[in-house]
């Protein structure tokens, strides 16, 4: 991926984030700290581990982190936290599956369903997910690429929700086929929306509207993945009504 392999600053930052994720999980497992990590940190840490390799600069590997998280999930409460931990572990395991980095033909609705199940407990903290999986063509890509692309978008939508908004917070995940035969995937939320002046800036590395809580890498990496796969990622948003992130990916040639 461009943002790790070609940018030493990002590479160093992600190595540090992976190390911090390992320390956080270890501290929780030892009973020395509450769990503060979010799914976005797990996504970043998993991508860093997958790209940098196991135990990079003393950081924990994917299997080690997944094992610690599963151990925590088996013995910690309440149930909501157990669900988050299990989802974190499942996501790490998905990226460490045999062949996860091999380009293959992928049917998107089953993969999206699996990703939503893994991130479900995290998303449920701020929104309800609505699925609308209309037929769409299979695409070519790796599990790691597609998982990071769509988990980043869904978690970004969940984090964008305004606390206490009047309408129930929802994230709709849609699949379909464009007029040109391409696969179309949309992540639509009814959050506060994005001001027009920021709609392209959100794809700039390190730009974030979340202050110290954000790293400003999720959306740039999602766009980079879409581009690497030969597709596009665009956003349409209206302040006060929500945002729609649309991914278009080329179908597998017949």
CATH of the domain at 128: 3.30.565.10
Provide the token pair at 57.
Answer: 């600069």
pTM, entire model: 0.80
Q: Tell me, yes or no, whether 111 and 92 share the same domain.
A: no
Domain that holds residue 14: 1-96
**Exposure on the CB side of residue 241, measured as CA atoms within 13 A:** 4
Q: Distance between CA 250 and CA 146 in Å, rounded?
A: 13
Q: Tell me, yes or no, whether 90 and 128 share the same domain.
A: no
Strands 128-133 and 170-177 come out as parallel
Q: Tell me, yes or no, whether 91 and 125 share the same domain.
A: no
Q: Tell me, yes or no, whether 154 and 115 share the same domain.
A: yes
Q: Is residue 69 over pLDDT 70?
A: yes
Task: Kindly report the number of other CB atoms within 10 A of residue 143's CB atom.
Answer: 20
**156-178, pLDDT tens digit by residue?**
898 888 666 656 889 999 999 99
How many separate domains does the chain show? 2
Q: Distance between CA 204 and CA 159 in Å, rounded?
A: 18
Of 96, 131, 146, which residue is a domain's last?
96
Q: Tell me, yes or no, whether 203 and 142 share the same domain.
A: yes
Of 62, 96, 130, which residue is a domain's last?
96
pLDDT top residue among 88 and 48 = 88
pLDDT of residue 49: 62
Q: Tell me, yes or no, whether 92 and 118 share the same domain.
A: no
Q: Is residue 66 over pLDDT 60?
A: yes
Q: Distance between CA 36 and CA 197 in Å, rounded?
A: 32
Q: Tell me, yes or no, whether 149 and 253 share the same domain.
A: yes
pLDDT top residue among 106 and 64 = 106
* DSSP codes joined into one string, 148-159: HHHHHHHHHHHH
Of 64, 96, 128, which residue is a domain's last?
96
Q: Tell me, yes or no, whether 48 and 115 share the same domain.
A: no
């Amino acid at each position: 991926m461009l943002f790790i392999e070609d940018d030493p600053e990002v590479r160093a930052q992600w190595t540090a984030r992976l190390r911090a994720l390992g320390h956080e999980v270890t501290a929780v497992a030892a009973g020395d700290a509450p769990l503060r990590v979010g799914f976005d940190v797990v996504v970043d840490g998993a991508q860093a581990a997958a790209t940098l390799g196991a135990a990079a600069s003393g950081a924990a590997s994917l299997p080690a982190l997944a094992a610690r998280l599963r151990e925590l999930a088996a013995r910690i409460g309440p149930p909501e936290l157990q669900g988050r931990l299990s989802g974190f572990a499942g996501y790490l395991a998905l990226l460490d599956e045999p062949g996860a980095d091999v380009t293959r033909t992928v049917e998107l609705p089953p993969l999206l369903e699996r990703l939503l199940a893994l991130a479900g407990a995290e998303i449920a903290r701020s929104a309800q997910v609505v699925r609308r999986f209309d037929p769409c063509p299979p695409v070519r890509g790796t599990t790691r690429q597609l998982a990071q692309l769509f988990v980043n978008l869904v978690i970004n939508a969940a984090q964008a929700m305004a606390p206490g908004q009047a309408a129930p917070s929802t994230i709709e995940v849609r699949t379909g086929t464009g007029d040109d035969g391409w696969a179309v995937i949309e992540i639509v939320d009814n959050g506060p929306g994005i001001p027009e002046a920021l709609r392209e800036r959100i794809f700039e590395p390190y730009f974030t509207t979340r202050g110290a809580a954000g790293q400003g890498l999720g959306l740039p990496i999602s766009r980079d993945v879409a581009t690497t796969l030969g597709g596009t990622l665009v956003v349409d948003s209206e302040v006060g009504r929500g945002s729609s992130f649309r991914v278009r990916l080329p179908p597998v040639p017949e």
